[in-house]
Amino acid sequence: MKRANQFGLPTRICIALVLSLWMFVCLYPFAVVLGGSFTAESEIRRGISVIPREFSTASYELLFATPRRVIRAYQVTIFVTVVGTVLSVLVNAMMAYAISRPNCRYRYQLGFFAYFTLLFSGGMVAWYIVMVNFLGLRNTIWAMIVPYLANAWFLLILRAYFQSIPNDFAESARMDGAGEMRIFLQIFLPLSIPAIAAITLFTAMRYWNDWWLGIMLIDDTDLQPLQLMLRSVMSRVQFLASDMGRRASDLGITVPTRGLRFATTIVTIGPIVFLYPFLQKYFIKGLTIGGIKG
């Protein structure tokens, strides 16, 4: 039945070619940076390619010669991601559960209270002043966690999911004397694992990839997350080129400045690309839970 219902072979081959071309567009930049990171500095100037013209690990050696910075950035990012994700999912899920209950009289008002934050914002400047002056978050690790904890979007997706669970579950548990917190933790959370998993993944990605909070509120290089370390490698590269680089070139050594940039990029995205095949499935599922409705 399916056989007839498709394009002829030539058309399908064309479609496959177009899709492969877009796949190439998606993957090629990664491949070329990977190639560049393993290219000798003297060759980079002549152009980088997927297969290094002259293989060299000098960029990685330089990067890990002083590994403190990289390790520190990883620590910061991992801490922010783990703590932020756990707290954020808990905070959002709790309120989502509460306002999904039909016996909660002010559920619509509270829902709107959250929703309003999506509609209107005081803008970047006022936000910055509140964060710095009022909350004193500048140059603390919490600056990269607190602002993203409550998220109306995730909250409303979770609420919709909780609402789709029959209220009878809650009713019968209540008959047996379970409190709301217990119903939430022991009945609704386990029943909502697909939604919770998706929101957890979204939140974790948001924290892992974030550099906006860092760029606004962190000056201390010791608190720099991975993404910002990558960005500051640019200026560090210039420093190397100017100072150490000059001394090195006196000694006849080429400092891999551009190569260092590529190597740092690879080190930054390494874990993501490694975990990607496992995460992707949940991500797609999650998008189809929340995305369509919004």
Q: 8-47: which residues touch another protein (CB under 8 A)?
A: 11-12, 15-16, 18-20, 22-23, 25-27, 29-30, 32-33, 36, 44-47
Q: Which helix (H) or strand (E) holds 166?
A: none
Q: Quick one: 46 or 247, whose CB is closer to another protein?
A: 46
**Site membership for another protein, residue 141 (CB under 8 A):** no
Helical segments of 165-256, H only: 167-175, 180-183, 189-191, 193-209, 212-217, 226-239, 245-250
Give least dist CB 239 to another protein, A: 17
Q: 68-97: which residues touch another protein (CB under 8 A)?
A: 90-92, 94-95, 97
Which tokens belong to 171?
């009713």
Within 8 A by CB and 6+ apart from 228, the residues are 73, 211, 214, 215, 218
User: Which residue type sits at 170?
Assistant: A
**Site membership for another protein, residue 268 (CB under 8 A):** yes
**Site membership for another protein, residue 99 (CB under 8 A):** yes
CA pair distance 231, 265, nearest whole angstrom: 9
Alpha carbon dihedral 237, 241, 244, 245, in 10-degree steps, equals 130
**Site membership for another protein, residue 246 (CB under 8 A):** no
- Choose one: 65-73, 111-119, 189-197, 236-244; the region binding another protein (CB under 8 A): 111-119
**Site membership for another protein, residue 169 (CB under 8 A):** no
**List 2, 10, 168, 252, residue binding another protein (CB under 8 A):** 2
Give least dist CB 48 to another protein, A: 5
Burial of 135 (0-12, 13-18, 19+ CB in 10 A): middle
Q: Quick one: 83 or 150, whose CB is closer to another protein?
A: 150
The count of residues interacting with another protein (CB under 8 A) is: 108
Partners of 39 in the β-ladder: 55
**Site membership for another protein, residue 263 (CB under 8 A):** no
Q: Quick one: 106 or 239, whose CB is closer to another protein?
A: 106
Distance (Å) of CA 225 to CA 5, 282, 289:
51, 25, 31
**List 51, 82, 86, 130, residue binding another protein (CB under 8 A):** 130
CA pair distance 7, 5, nearest whole angstrom: 7
Give least dist CB 124 to another protein, A: 5
Give least dist CB 9 to another protein, A: 12
Q: 222-241: which residues touch another protein (CB under 8 A)?
A: 227-228, 230-231
